[in-house]
Structure 1
Amino acid sequence: MRFDAFQAHRQQLLAADPSLLDAAETNVYRALAPLRPEPPGGGGDGGGGDDARTVYRCDLARTWLRRYGLPEEWSRRAMVGGGVRHGLDLLFRHLRTAGARLWLPADVYPVYFELARAAGLAPGSYPTLPAPVLPQAPPDDRPEYLLLANPSKPLGRHLTDAECAGLAAWLEGSPHRRLLIDAVYDLGTPFAPGTRRLLETGRTVLLHSATKGWLHPRTFGIVLLGPDDTAVAEAFRGDPPGQDRLRLAERLLADHADTPRQVADALAARAERLFARLPAGVLAEVPAAARTSPGNYFFPVDIPAEALLAEHGLLAIPATAFGDTPWTGSVLTSLAPAFAPVAPAPPAPATASENVR
């Protein structure tokens, strides 16, 4: 059952039995709506107000690099765009022109495959659940790219040291190989050690955006190209975001620098409320790395979704909703209203004697 079909099935189940514990919500924007920063004037993604200042992409790139502890001299490689999807669209079109081979995670986001095929690519795939298994196909003379997410959803954690070593070894297998790292779920500063380690190879492209940390999807993002990726840079320079988005990005980085931490804290609190509601046997199946990963709200368990529903009244996402995978486990999330913070009770009305005082 694919993701859209599962979500429709989920709504039917919840309507038929409201007593089910919903651990299958995936809309983080709805769950954390109070934390989403808005510009002055309530302009939403349009930037707000009558601000007509010109914001330059090079300035935004340097601000972003400083925030994540990366060298400012990399600003010419930091391409400002509309987000990770926009960045992947431009990258995939370049890979098609270059005749490149592309590997995508089979069980993370269907949109990766949609973008690749729209660009005219025929991507290969590799599994990430219950742990990543890199493709074993021998290299040839074509450019070869492997896309991964760090941290990974629905795996719910960052890459391990051993997995980073495996990726570095994969790169060393051919001078034509490159990595594409989607770091949109990394809410910390600087980026995770594994991401920084792979950036140091000089053969990694990093994609990041305001989508998760600031809850502003398809607004602003950075694609940090490798030092040799000059051919694709012109595609980004020729397709910039509008000034309204650039002004919004400037405000998010300058005036709301703490929002990603607030998002991570809110998600950690939701995760604890999820764990408190899980049966002991289910909780024991949640990997420790997923339970302790900052800002995580996806928790894989090696139990079929059908069993969780039948035995515990727990609504989980089957792994197959994320893509092709032989793994029979499922994924729990902590975004449903059941795991939201409890609003404080309103103060009791004053008594007659209190009114006198």
Structure 2
Amino acid sequence: MRFEEFQEFRQRQLGASSSLLDAAETNVYRALAPLRPEPPTDTTTVHRCDLARAWLRRFELPEEWSGHAMICRGVRHGLGVVFPWLRAGQARLWLPSDVYPVYFELARAAGLEPLSYPTLPAPALPPSSADHRAEYLLLANPSKPLGRYLSDAECAAVMSWLRESPTRRLLIDSVYDLGAPFAAGTRRLLDTGRAVLLHSVTKGWLWPRTFGVVLLGPAHADLAEAFRADPPTPAQLMLADRLLTEHADVPRQVGDELTARAGRLFEQLPADVLGAIPPASRTSPGNYFFPVGIPAETLQREYGVLAVPVSVFGRSDWPGSILTSLSDAFTRTPTVTRTH
């Protein structure tokens, strides 16, 4: 079931049954709208180089990397610049099959024919290749809808995958990382010198398609000009400056609210369903996606819980489904706890 089809299905199901627990809202911007900062009303000139340094300082990365920190309009825009570059270099691209269908849409629009690997119920890295083409693996950390950061063992496996060939590189989507600095696993992968990091204000500040940074690795200097030729608007740069300075605490507030909502979801879930969520996903800070090894149809029929089918996130052979903690049912502590 595609995303748009599921949205229609969800509305029909909720309209037909007032007792159904809605654990299938996916729009974080709507759910947390009161936390989103207002745009500035004045007009000031903001330079990309200053924003790059401010971003590096926030995430405790060396300011001398500012020449590699490319200012863009978000992760989608960043990939929209990187993917054509990969196509020109005839690189092989591996995408997670069950994270974000837009990855595939952007890759195909750039003329690539991406390969895929699964992340549910745990990431399974692609096999060794028969040739020595440049090879890029896109991963998200934290990974959605897996709902957690890569483990130490998984990071070690990614680093081992890199070492198998000098032509291998990483693309790391860190948009769901609400903390500063970035997660230890992300920093370990950056330290290999073979990763491109993509980040934006989409989740932490609830401003999608506005501002982001693509931190290039040493092998990607010729990508810089493509980013410099396609910058955000002056209004977007000014908003980004305000978000990073006057609203620096918003990602923490977003994370705290998401953690609170997750707790309210857990309080309302039947014990069998709660027990089927992996502990690492239940305890990951600021997480609002929770994989559960029970099909969505079973959750609705036997437990009265509306979940998101895995197919909404892409192709997957895993039989489980995804719960979310964003609906209005989790905005305050419930008065009734469901038991089955």
TM score, norm. by length of structure 2: 0.97
Equivalent residue for 1:297, pick from 280, 288, 292? 288
Q: Distance between the aligned counterparts of 1:288 and 1:146, measured in 2?
A: 27
Q: CA deviation at 1:140?
A: 2.1
| SS of equivalent to 2:311 | helix
Equivalence for 2:233:
242
Instruction: Give the conservation status (yes or no) of the 8 Å contact 1:205–1:226.
Output: yes
Q: Distance between the aligned counterparts of 1:139 and 1:265, measured in 2?
A: 46
Q: Distance between the aligned counterparts of 1:237 and 1:73, measured in 2?
A: 18
Instruction: Give the conservation status (yes or no) of the 8 Å contact 1:149–1:182.
Output: yes
Q: CA deviation at 1:15?
A: 1.1
Equivalent residue for 2:157, pick from 145, 152, 166? 166
Instruction: Give the conservation status (yes or no) of the 8 Å contact 1:139–1:173.
Output: no
Instruction: Give the conservation status (yes or no) of the 8 Å contact 1:139–1:174.
Output: no
1:49 and 2:32 matched: no
Q: Distance between the aligned counterparts of 1:206 and 1:73, measured in 2?
A: 16
Q: Distance between the aligned counterparts of 1:59 and 1:117, measured in 2?
A: 34
Q: Distance between the aligned counterparts of 1:22 and 1:131, measured in 2?
A: 25
Q: Distance between the aligned counterparts of 1:166 and 1:37, measured in 2?
A: 39
Output the amino acid matched with 2:277: V
Tell me, which stretches of 5 or more residues in structure 2 are unaligned?
A: 335-340
| RMSD between superposed Cα atoms in Å | 1.1
Q: Distance between the aligned counterparts of 2:134 and 2:118, measured in 1?
A: 21
Tell me, which stretches of 5 or more residues in structure 1 are unaligned?
A: 40-47, 344-357
Equivalent residue for 2:248, pick from 257, 260, 268? 257
Equivalence for 2:147:
156
CA deviations on 1:295-337 (whole Å, 9 max, x unpaired) are: 1000000011111000011000111221111100010000000
The runs of at least 4 aligned residues of structure 1 exceeding 3 Å deviation read none
Q: CA deviation at 1:214?
A: 0.2
Q: CA deviation at 1:5?
A: 1.2
Q: Which residues of 2 match residues 120-135 of structure 1 at below 5 A?
A: 120-135=111-126
TM score, norm. by length of structure 1: 0.92
Equivalence for 1:355:
none
Equivalent residue for 2:69, pick from 60, 75, 78? 78
Q: Distance between the aligned counterparts of 2:321 and 2:308, measured in 1?
A: 5
Equivalence for 1:231:
222
Equivalence for 1:12:
12
| SS of equivalent to 1:58 | helix
Q: Distance between the aligned counterparts of 2:136 and 2:218, measured in 1?
A: 15
Larger Rg, first or second structure (1 or 2): 1
CA deviations on 1:220-264 (whole Å, 9 max, x unpaired) are: 000000012111111001101111000000000000000000000
Identity %: 69
Q: Distance between the aligned counterparts of 2:174 and 2:303, measured in 1?
A: 34
Q: How many residues align?
A: 334
Q: Distance between the aligned counterparts of 2:270 and 2:17, measured in 1?
A: 19
Q: Distance between the aligned counterparts of 2:94 and 2:4, measured in 1?
A: 23
Q: Distance between the aligned counterparts of 2:115 and 2:148, measured in 1?
A: 23
Q: Distance between the aligned counterparts of 1:285 and 1:74, measured in 2?
A: 43
Q: CA deviation at 1:288?
A: 0.8
Q: Distance between the aligned counterparts of 2:170 and 2:207, measured in 1?
A: 26
Equivalence for 1:61:
52
Equivalence for 1:31:
31
Q: Distance between the aligned counterparts of 2:137 and 2:284, measured in 1?
A: 23
Output the amino acid matched with 1:247: M
Q: CA deviation at 1:6?
A: 1.4
